[in-house]
Chain A
Amino acid sequence: SQQGEEDPQALSIQEGENATMNCSYKTSINNLQWYRQNSGRGLVHLILIRSNEREKHSGRLRVTLDTSKKSSSLLITASRAADTASYFCATDARSGGGADGLTFGKGTHLIIQP
């Protein structure tokens, strides 16, 4: 079963606005990562936040983590057309067959309208 679940499934905003995506997960984690996927391409790592961190910034990205609520949010400020992509959260919690590797949510599809 999926460890992470992103919300919303799809988001359409105007260029220049801020975009916020949320991720909820079920079990304890060591870290949570966010990835971006452009259409027809592989996933690209954006940011990693450790379980003992509450907030992290990278350029126009801001990630928060609330381990008590088992949730994370990704904020993209001053959005650009190039930010149009799907965004996935991923956790390192073991699931399924107890394997290493990441467990991904189903993603948020973000569309930036020019």
Chain B
Amino acid sequence: DAGITQSPRYKITETGRQVTLMCHQTWSHSYMFWYRQDLGHGLRLIYYSAAADITDKGEVPDGYVVSRSKTENFPLTLESATRSQTSVYFCASSESTGTRNQPQHFGDGTRLSIL
């Protein structure tokens, strides 16, 4: 039971490049989330998805694009990376949103450095 996996674990790229972070879950959870974690800010929600083909913005969506063509995958793309997007990115999934009292399950993160 792999759970939720993120790839790559580490990525270094340059400003202006396009970068895609992958997230795959094996539970068939309907909800998936992308967070970024920065010192001094904790975790902040970038985008989330309630089901395949349904996505919505979180607190800090600018500069990011997501898609959800299959329930198990939720890739996050930085279309033109900037240094301010250097961060650790976490993907999570849950059976429902927090309002329905369900915990979220997190991957181990992708550490992204933009030079």
Contacts and interface: CB of A to CB of B under 8 A. Distances in A.
Interface string B84-109: 00000010100001110101111111
With a 10 A CB-CB cut-off, give which of B42, B45, B58, B106 has the most chain A CB atoms: B42
Interface of A: 2, 30-31, 33, 35, 40-45, 48, 50, 88, 90-92, 95-97, 99-107
A106 B44 CA distance: 10
A42 B90 contact: yes
Given A2-B42, A107-B42, A42 B109 contact: yes
Report, nearest first, the 9 A-B pairs whose CB atoms are least far apart. A92-B98, A96-B59, A42-B106, A45-B103, A100-B97, A106-B42, A104-B43, A101-B45, A99-B58
Nearest to A89: B42
A97 B41 contact: no
Contact of A31 (B41, B60, B101): B101
Nearest to A105: B42
Contacts of A96: 44-45, 58-60
B58 A102 contact: no
Nearest to A50: B101
Contact of A97 (B40, B50, B59, B99): B59
Contact of B56 (A91, A100, A103, A104): A100
Contact of A30 (B58, B61, B98, B103): B98
Contacts of B42: 2, 88, 104-107
B57 interface: yes
B113 to A, nearest CB: 15
Contacts of B103: 33, 45, 48
B40 A100 contact: no
Contacts of A50: 101
